[in-house]
Structure 1
Amino acid sequence: MKIVVINAYVRENAGDAALLSVCLRHVKEAFPDAALAIAGMEDAATHRSFEGVDNLGSIRRYVADGGVPRSRRLLRKLVVALVGTTALLLPRALANVLLKLLPAEARREADAVSRADMVVSMGGGYLLARPGLDGYQNVFFVLLPVLLAQKSGVPVVFAPQSFGPFPGKPQRRLVGRVLRRAALVLAREDVSVGLLEECGVPARQVRRAVDSGFAFAPEVTSDWRSRLGIGTQEPLVGLTARRWLAPAAQERYERALAATIDALQADGARVVLIPQVTTDYLGDDDRIVERRTADYCRTSPLRIEERVDYRDLKGLYSECSLLIGTRFHSVIFSLTSGVPCVAIEYEHKTRGIMADLGLGEWVLPIAEVTHADLWALVSKLRANPEEYRMALQQRLPAYIAQAEEFPALLRAAAGANERERSERAEKVA
């Protein structure tokens, strides 16, 4: 059995690396003898594998490669879009011939998904569109490998993820067409289910699921307190930040974080700024934001400047007594370590998942963050963390167990697809 996991991101994004790690583990549990491959955003020439699974590169990476000039990227997009769209319109035999004209990296993914026995689009939050042409491009290039797989009769499973928004009607039509034909669609919050209904995907075709990050539990390998130079009894508060807003609003957000850091450190805690994402891709490096935030502080917080392995980073959150988390997988990493969190929402996944856990009151929208509002939640949580921890003890075990259901769902999807093939064969006979 051949299985291709598509839409992987980069290992410097600790949350997405954790999702890929769990996805690969779940696929192996479902199909122990399967041959696996990854199609993702890492250059196969630099990263030939991830946790022992071969990396093919991908169509998305090829057309968005920031290492080539913009004019060349545009040409790549035009060539791949033209060849890919034409192939989708042709009979399968002719399409296979045409796809051989794709550049090598794009051709590897196209060939792999067309010949696979199953394609798994990994969890995350990448099937969405911003206003403008970039939004249309994102939807098209995310879904192109799925369309090629479906054209060849390969079942496609969408692992637990968020969907939308989709501001354009053509975007919604394409998303609806593709997901209605999927073998399994898993949404990690109710908002995504509603957005898919707007795309014409009936709610009965979408299964509510749990973010796979809740099933990420690597062994702790580092003594983080020694690395940071703090005592075992010293209260440690973690904080994650990211670039998201227009410049003026971004500065207000960062200054609100800085004021809260100062208040925490004046109250006897030590604050560590944790870079959850440290990739050069699209300049999405949390260390840049955290340096600015630290500069706004009157008292210097602890900072981590090196790139830390996603498995090692998980252990740092377990050392914290509290997390103020903008990166949502930093919140998940902390919750699964029994650490109370105040979550700063930048996409609907944050509020949706926190509401699932009965923790909706601990969420602030990123564009509305002020020191006063943030400090009100933080001080309330510091005064009475036990109620929060008890809520986690009550709700998390079942939530984590639901995240571990993915292997069974994969086997069921494969079985259903095999039955459909047999029924079609009998009708033809």
Structure 2
Amino acid sequence: MNVEVSVDSALQVTVAPMDRQNYMASNQMRAEDQLIVVSAIHWPYLNDPSPQLRQKEYDTAVIEAVKIFADGQPTHVVFVPQLYRSVHRDTPYLETLAQQLPAGISCEVLSDSKSSNEQCSLFAIANWVIAGRYHPAVFAVSSAVPVLCIAYEHKATGVLQAAGVSDAVMSIDEVTVEAVQAKARELLAGKADLTARLHVAQVALREVSARTSVAVADVVRRS
């Protein structure tokens, strides 16, 4: 019996990148300036004696990672909300987080009326992605965009391991300002290698996902 670990079917979907020049110009930025897309989360830290302090540490760490990836260059940061408006809306949290950025860094919180495909087309033109959730990590991998994933769930860790970039993911339980700063500096120093590995993974994972879809379709036809 052959067993193959599959990956998300979203990796089979090709979404055209949005026009970077137009997008950056709409935010008073040049096309060559840095674009960092961030999906941060407000995490409950259940059973932790100091959940508010842990969240504050997480928030500060995310901002520090943005500053490191900005690398002293003109930068626009987009905070991307979770698309579960009927259940949970994190735009207010992201607006508060955005206020912690230095005055010299341009930023916005993307409207939560944007579709998943619209979000994906934005991720595709980023210089860096900071992924706090699974699908932003998938979007980064599918577009071969350098990513730092701070994972709260195993499937986000798994997709980066499958992509051969396990060095680009850390657990939310490991977050300290110092640990995230160190990881961001490590990834920035190895950005060219990280990007090259993601380009290889982009093709390989799409093939794995497609094989799984074919196998599932065969099972359905035979049932």
TM over 0.5: yes
Change (3 A) 1:271 1:383: farther
Aligned to 1:216: 13
Aligned to 1:233: 32
Pick the aligned partner of 2:100 from 289, 296, 310: 296
**Aligned positions, number:** 213
Once superposed, what is the RMSD of the aligned Cα atoms? 2.4
Change (3 A) 1:302 1:408: same
Q: Report the Cα offset of residue 414 of structure 1.
A: 2.4
**Structure 1 Cα separation of the partners of residues 18 and 67 of structure 2:** 30
Instruction: Give CA-to-partner distance per residue, 1:163-196, whole Å, 9 cap, x none.
Output: xxxxxxxxxxxxxxxxxxxxxxxxxxxxxxxxxx
Give the alignment of 1:85-164 within 5 angstroms: none
Worse overlay, 218-227 or 248-257: 218-227
**Structure 1 Cα separation of the partners of residues 211 and 12 of structure 2:** 10
Pick the aligned partner of 1:286 from 76, 90, 114: 90
1:379 aligns with 2:176: no
Amino acid at match of 1:350: A
Structure ranking higher on relative contact order (CA contacts 8 Å, 6+ apart) = 2
Instruction: Give CA-to-partner distance per residue, 1:68-101, whole Å, 9 cap, x none.
Output: xxxxxxxxxxxxxxxxxxxxxxxxxxxxxxxxxx
Q: Report the Cα offset of residue 317 of structure 1.
A: 1.1
Q: Does structure 2 conserve the Cα–Cα contact (< 8 Å) formed by 1:253 and 1:367? A: no
SS at match of 2:66: helix
Q: TM-score, with normalisation over the residues of structure 1?
A: 0.46
1:326 aligns with 2:132: yes
Aligned to 2:167: 361
SS at match of 2:87: helix
**Structure 1 Cα separation of the partners of residues 39 and 5 of structure 2:** 28
SS at match of 2:149: strand
Change (3 A) 1:304 1:414: same
Structure 1, unaligned runs of 5 or more? 1-203, 418-429
1:401 aligns with 2:207: yes
% identical aligned pairs: 18
Change (3 A) 1:405 1:374: same
1:243 aligns with 2:48: no
Q: Report the Cα offset of residue 330 of structure 1.
A: 0.9
Q: TM-score, with normalisation over the residues of structure 2?
A: 0.83
Change (3 A) 1:379 1:410: same
Instruction: Give CA-to-partner distance per residue, 1:254-282, whole Å, 9 cap, x none.
Output: 12212333444462251413324143333
Q: Does structure 1 conserve the Cα–Cα contact (< 8 Å) formed by 2:57 and 2:177? A: no
**Structure 2 Cα separation of the partners of residues 262 and 214 of structure 1:** 29
Structure 2, unaligned runs of 5 or more? 46-50
Aligned to 1:416: 222
Amino acid at match of 2:173: A
Q: Report the Cα offset of residue 348 of structure 1.
A: 0.7
Aligned to 1:340: 146
**Structure 2 Cα separation of the partners of residues 276 and 216 of structure 1:** 21
Amino acid at match of 1:292: T
Aligned to 1:273: 78
**Structure 2 Cα separation of the partners of residues 394 and 218 of structure 1:** 18
1:256 aligns with 2:51: no
Q: Report the Cα offset of residue 333 of structure 1.
A: 0.9
Change (3 A) 1:396 1:266: closer
Change (3 A) 1:278 1:413: closer
**Structure 2 Cα separation of the partners of residues 367 and 245 of structure 1:** 12
